[in-house]
Structure formats: structure tokens, C-alpha cells
Structure 1
Amino acid sequence: MHILNEDLEFVEENRQCSYFDDEISDMRYRYMNHCSVEEYQNMLEHGWRRFGKMHFVPECANCTKCISMRIDAKNYKFSKSEKRVISKNKDTKLYIQTPSITKDHLNLYDKYHKYMHDKKQWPYQPITPDDYVRSYVQGKDKFTKEFLYFRDEKLIAVALVDILPKSISAIYCFYDHDYENLSLGKFSILAQIKIAKELDIPYIYLGYWIKDHFSMGYKELYKPFEILTNRASLKEDTIWKKYEL
């Protein structure tokens, strides 16, 4: 790890990749106490992501499998199957507010990750309140929201979402697999697309897409979408292109 400057930007090199056992990752991080809308918009367009006050972007020397992608919300048309998902959730209540933490948040988070550990061998240990606050509550600004989904007054899904004038960034979503028939992960993305259309926001940034990956490949279902084709510094121009499957 090399500290680059006093504003807490650093690179973590030669780390075991989270997605491939045979790959090594290099990640650039920037810890920001305050991030303006303009700064954040520029970072999103350059492939950066955010958890709490920590922003990051991959700079892996030998791999480019993680591809930044964004849904073209303006031109998105809901398929018949997506309309069925929306219809199934007609009794699912959605509340949008600034991020918070409750015992229900923590219990749902742990239940979700225990399920994913058993199903997909995700690493698992119960999250502490401090860790949850650091990742999902800290760094909140006027653009940071949580989408809370309720069924029969029970919290069944949480999505952390940044809403900017020109983009929505889907940060993270976790949900109760006891309600698997509701397709809550998909419903949350569709809800964000609907909101983007209502607010005339052109793009939804879904983070990194890895083609055919068992955990990251699903993002290609949300067509049309664009991918970032170059690795540019924050002062350089980016090249986004529509992806054709």
C-alpha cells in the first residue's frame, strides 16, 4: 500500500481478487469527508464507486474483467416479465429516506449474507453496528438515500442509493430470501429505473459487471446499457459505449 498524498488517497496492490481465485487486484481508494455533487458525478462517470466515505476504483494491472456499466434509463422499456415483478409487488410498500440503522437493518443484513454464504460461499460474519454505519450510513449527503421495502409492516429489503441530478448510483441491496417469489433484488432496480424516468435522470450506475460471472453477470439483463471502455484519470475524458449482446 502506498500513501499518495494528504487527502487520504492510496493504492492497495497485490490483493486477492474478490471475484476470481486466480487473479490479483489493485484498487485505488479515496477517503473523502465531503464530496460535492459535481465531484461525485465526475467520479461515477470515471468508474468510481462509494461505500460510506470511501470511494474506490479498480486499477488491476493484469485484468480488465470488471467493467463499469450504466443502465440507459431514458430509453429503458420494461419487459413483460419485469411488469409481472412490479405487479407482484403492488402490496410492497417503499419508503425513501436518508440512511439509518436499526436492529431490523442489522438482522436483515445478517440473514441475507448468511443465505449467500450457504448458497454462493460468500464470506460471512455478523456485521457490527459500527461497521454498518461506516459502510452505509457515514458519508451521507443530500443525495444519499435508503429505499426501505415493507410487507405487512415487516422490513424485507434495503437498498442504498445515491440520487444525483444526472445519475442514480445503486450502491448496495440486501433482502429477505423468504420472499423469493417477489424477486426483491430485481424489483429494487426496476423501482430505481421508474424513479429515474420520473426525475428525467438519464443513467443508473450499477457498478461493475463481469460477463458470465455467477454473482456479477446478472446486470446485463437490464438493457439497454453502456460500458466504460477506457481507464481515464479524473481529469481525462471517458469513453462510454452502448453494449450490444
Structure 2
Amino acid sequence: MANPTTVSGPKDRQLCRMTETRRTCSYLPEKFAALEYRLIAGATSETCGRLVARGWRRFGISFFRPACEDCTECRSLRVVVDRFRPSKSQRRCIARNLKVGAVLKQPGISREHVQLYNAYHEDMHHRRGWPYRPIETREYFESFVMGAGDFGHEIAYYKDTRLVGIGLVDILPGGISSVYFYHDPAWRHCGPGTFSILREIQLAKTMGIPHLYLGYCIRGNPSMSYKSRFVPHEILDPRTKGHPSPSWRPPA
């Protein structure tokens, strides 16, 4: 068995591995944080799957995970797909979005993508205080198109013919990794974030994929804690991140 903490395979090429200097946490400002990074050119779905199962996240060719000395609040969470049943409020969310169409395709880039991304982030800046800096075409490409290989996809959401949301996902051997989602601020009242996760769960169920990886759940941050509403789910034991068989368990 390949060592999951190293990059293997004929197409993988690790360009560098580093841990950033400790800084103020973006999610919990009273704490300090640091991320460990790996830049991997030509990562395969198998390599990406092994890393995601050990708590890594991917943007472009960059993989990262928390490397904080005094905090383990960023808990990797995955939904157990075949046992998931939507709650009453989640069923209402589905009903509110019956007229929203979804198309699964290779990740793309267009003026429409960039404008929608920037509109979403500007709205979040005003409503939740997120830092705001408009993204340029090249940066969008490097974050969401580059490194996708044959496993990275986007789910484009439409109302009639108007693009209202983009969900980036990695379809991997053992699970689907929900990478990022952004949407038209005018769609906000219909719960698009919840709706996109429900569509990703349905996609995994249709494909016979056992898990949907939602990234980090942080109890003290509303933008990250909502993930715990999708049940049943499992949490990665941070002590087993580098083990050949990482341990995922129901929350205590």
C-alpha cells in the first residue's frame, strides 16, 4: 500500500511542502493559526482522495490542512451518504428551489463566473465582514480550474437561463469533496448553500459514492458550523491524520 502521507503515482509531482508562519486565525480571531501546504502538479484522483480522507483540502494545485499548535477546532466532517435523510427544514429548502436547474460539467471560467464570484464576496463583506478583494481571471483559474485533472467538476445552477450559483466538487474514488460554493446574492433567501449540499449528497448517492466531504466544521464560526446540520456525519480524529487508516467517527 502506498504511504498516504507521500505523493505517489506516475503523474504526481510535489513541487514543495511548507508550513506558514503562525498568524491570527481567520475563523476564530481570538486564536492563532497556521496551515501546512503541499503544491502538487498533476495530482491524480487517487492521491487527492487519500489526502482528503486525511483532512487536506484542495484549491488549484495547492493542498492544505491546519497545523495549529494549540487548537483543533477545525474538524474535518463527512456526511454518510446512504444513511442521510433530509430534515424538515432541508425538505422545505428543496421545495423552494424546484425551479433551479443544475448541470455537472468540467470547471470553467468566463466573465460570468468571475462577476458572480465577486458579487457573492462583496455581499458577504457587507453582511458578515469578510475581507473583500475582487478576484481577477487569472487568480480564479489558478484556484478553481487549474489542478482539476479528470476529477474536478463544477455544478452550475441556473434559474431559467441565468447562472445563479457555482459549486466546485472533486469526484474521488471514496467520496465527493465539496470544494467551494458561491451564488447570486439575490438567491440568498432560498437557502442556496443548504440546497447545494443537498444536491451534492444526491449526486454522491446516484453515483454510489459513500461520503461527501464538507471540509472543516468550526463550532464557534457560523460560516463553518452549519455543516453539522447534515446528519449522520463523521468527524476525523485529528490524531490519525497521518496514519495508513485515518479514523472517522460519529461526533461525541
Does 2:112 correspond to 1:100? no
Match 1:213 to one of 221, 228, 242: 221
Aligned to 2:55: 47
Aligned to 1:228: 236
List aligned pairs for 1:75-86, cutoff 5 A.
Answer: 75-86=83-94
Distance 1:228 1:112 in 2: 30
Q: Deviations over 1:81-107 (max 9, x none)?
A: 222222222211111111111111111
Q: Deviations over 1:95-136 (max 9, x none)?
A: 111111111111111110011001111000111111101111
Structure 2 length-normalised TM: 0.91
Q: Give, as a single letter, the amino acid of the residue that structure 2 aligns with 1:160.
A: L
List aligned pairs for 1:163-182, cutoff 5 A.
Answer: 163-182=171-190
Match 1:21 to one of 26, 29, 36: 29
Distance 1:22 1:230 in 2: 21
Residue identity over aligned pairs, in percent, reads: 36
Match 1:66 to one of 64, 74, 93: 74
Does 2:45 correspond to 1:37? yes
Distance 1:229 1:55 in 2: 19
Which is further off, 84-93 or 215-224? 84-93
Aligned to 1:141: 149
Q: Give, as a single letter, the amino acid of the residue that structure 2 aligns with 1:28.
A: E
Deviation at residue 222 of structure 1 after TM alignment: 0.5
Distance 1:117 1:88 in 2: 26
Aligned to 1:117: 125
Distance 2:66 2:186 in 1: 34
Q: Give, as a single letter, the amino acid of the residue that structure 2 aligns with 1:100.
A: G
Corresponding pairs, count? 239
Q: Give, as a single letter, the amino acid of the residue that structure 1 aligns with 2:30.
A: D
Aligned to 1:195: 203
Distance 1:38 1:189 in 2: 23
Secondary structure, aligned partner of 1:220: helix
Q: Give, as a single letter, the amino acid of the residue that structure 1 aligns with 2:134.
A: P
Residues 89 and 210 of structure 1, relative CA distance in 2, 3 Å threshold: same
Task: Show structure 1 runs of 4+ deviating over 2 A.
Answer: 230-237
Gaps of 5+ in 1: 1-5
Deviation at residue 152 of structure 1 after TM alignment: 2.1
Distance 1:181 1:14 in 2: 37
Residues 170 and 57 of structure 1, relative CA distance in 2, 3 Å threshold: same
Instruction: Say what the alpha-carbon RMSD is for the aligned residues.
Output: 1.4
Aligned to 2:5: none
Deviation at residue 180 of structure 1 after TM alignment: 2.2
Deviation at residue 235 of structure 1 after TM alignment: 4.8
Aligned to 1:87: 95
Gaps of 5+ in 2: 1-13
Deviation at residue 182 of structure 1 after TM alignment: 2.2
